[in-house]
Structure 1
Amino acid sequence: SKVKKLSMATPVTWTTYAERLVNTEKVFDKAGFFSMDGLLWGAANLKVSKEEMEAICKSIADPLEARGVGLRIEGIKYMCIQTTDDTVQLKKGKGGAIVKKATKCFIIGVWNEDSTTGTTNPGADMALEKYTKALTAKGF
């Protein structure tokens, strides 16, 4: 399938971007955009506790933080399956999550165990890569 180029030229809210990740990309059930210190910019169906966000922020600063201990998102414990300099990939059964860093923010995308995307959800990383590249190009 052809990958659509993401346009961030039209001013929209961060919540709108999160809703696009859920409703247009069709790879996530929940998504959110956050500042590097964990402040919510906008979310679609995603609520992260203060304690969970502290751990997520540590894993964004140093992706190795998530290895071995995993991360909790909305009270659900996810196992860390892969990290790179800008990405933490997590799984729980057939569900999972990806935390991906841009320059000044990061995105969390979550898919549920009953989702049809499967365990690894290859479209998830591609979708977040598209968004983080567009954000980085705009200084975010």
Structure 2
Amino acid sequence: MSWQSYVDDQLIGTKVVTDALICGHDGNIWAASPKLQATPQELKKMIDSIGNSDVLAPSGVVLGGVKYMYLSGTDRVIRAKKDKSGIHVMKTTQAVIVARYDDPIMPEQCATVTEKLGDYLISVGY
């Protein structure tokens, strides 16, 4: 399966993810939905901050020029929101999945789909 298929079928196709991308730990985008305009620099900054709430809490998370308020995270996950939309980010062994959702999608729905794909990628070495 191609990286674009993961974005189109496993994320966007679930109807609980509005936009998504998969990139490497260096921020270079492997596949993305057309409306998600993130830069490698934004992604690299986000990836380097995963697990560091001291950096994320005061500065938030910027994706596609939009600043999201950091909600919570772990050493693999970032949760952030802006108004009635938000992002869920999961870092795997070699990749990072970034999923964005809009109202009426619930954050938990987007999180479940994102983390399920992330766990699968980890299980196959990505």
Gaps of 5+ in 2: none
1:78-127 deviation line (CA, Å, top 9, x unaligned): 00001111100000001000111111111000113xx3114xx1111111
The structure 2 residue matched to 1:53, chosen from 38, 43, 55, is 43
2:19 — aligned with what? 30
Q: How many residues align?
A: 123
8 A contact 1:81–1:91 mirrored in 2 = yes
List aligned pairs for 1:1-140, cutoff 5 A: 12-20=1-9, 21-23=11-13, 25-45=14-34, 46-60=36-50, 62-64=51-53, 65-112=55-102, 115-118=103-106, 121-140=107-126
Identity of aligned residues (%): 27
Q: Which amino acid aligns with 2:60?
A: G
Q: Deviations over 1:5-24 (max 9, x none)?
A: xxxxxxx210111112012x
Between Structure 1 and Structure 2, whose CA radius of gyration is higher? Answer: 1
Instruction: Provide structure 1 residue ranges, at least 5 long, that are not aligned to the other structure.
Output: 1-11
Partner secondary structure for residue 58 of structure 2: coil
The 1:133–1:79 alpha-carbon spacing in structure 2 relative to 1, beyond 3 Å, is: same
CA RMSD of aligned residues (A): 1.4
Structure 1 segments (4+ residues) deviating >3 Å: none
TM-score by length of 1: 0.81
